[in-house]
Amino acid sequence: MMSTETLLEQKLLHSHKKEMIVFLNNHPEYFDEAVELAIQNKQPYSWRAAWVLWSYISKNDIRIKNHIPKLIKAIGNKTDGHQRELLKILLEMNLNEEQEGHLFDLSVSLWEDVEKKPSIRYTAFKFIIKMAKKHPELTNEILLLAQDKYLNSLSPGVNRSIKKMITNTIGLNHNKRKQSHT
């Protein structure tokens, strides 16, 4: 029986991450296929495609721009690890206001789901913090999301990281408001 795997799928399954990145560098024609695989739920390839893309893309990568709506929409029905990798890609991008709103709502839902793995919740919270830094009026929402019921299920290390992010963001937003009044 012949394999129905594409060349990219073969690379994703049988290569180390560094080799996959070299492959994408040498074969940019596979980039869109990698993004489409990342959006789909075709395991074991989709999670790995998202995982490699995050390491491969640059900050605000123009090649991802047109895929942003599909990436946001795809997050909802994926496993925790796959959701995390898609979120990590989107954390690298400058989103428009509508995209920010959709991803913020989704990130809040992921954060509030204490049954989710800490790694996806942590990544979702990083996006929430990114939005709070950009929109200081979200500071009060951050405080609501920092209640013990959301923090208790996290390891001590993740808990400390979250609290540090909150403290830094609240301090930053407080200083921004102070400067705007002077």
Range 32-69 burial, b when 16+ CB lie within 10 A, else e? ebbbebbbeeeeebbbbbbbbbbebbeeeeeebeebbe
pLDDT at 170: 80
Q: What crossing angle do the helices spanning 118-134 and 80-91 adopt, rounded to 10°? A: 20
pLDDT along the chain (182 residues), means of 10: 80 94 95 97 94 96 97 95 98 97 97 96 96 91 92 92 90 56 50
SS3 164: helix
Task: Find tokens 């992921």 and name the residue.
Answer: 110
Cα–Cα distance list, 119 to 69, 92, 174 (Å): 23, 17, 28
Dihedral sign from CA coordinates of 10, 13, 15, 21: positive
CB 128 within 8 A of CB 107: yes
pLDDT at 50: 97
Token representation of residue 129 = 């913090």
pLDDT at 54: 96
pLDDT at 1: 44
- Residue 86 burial (10 A CB sphere; 0-12, 13-18, 19+): buried
pTM of the model: 0.89
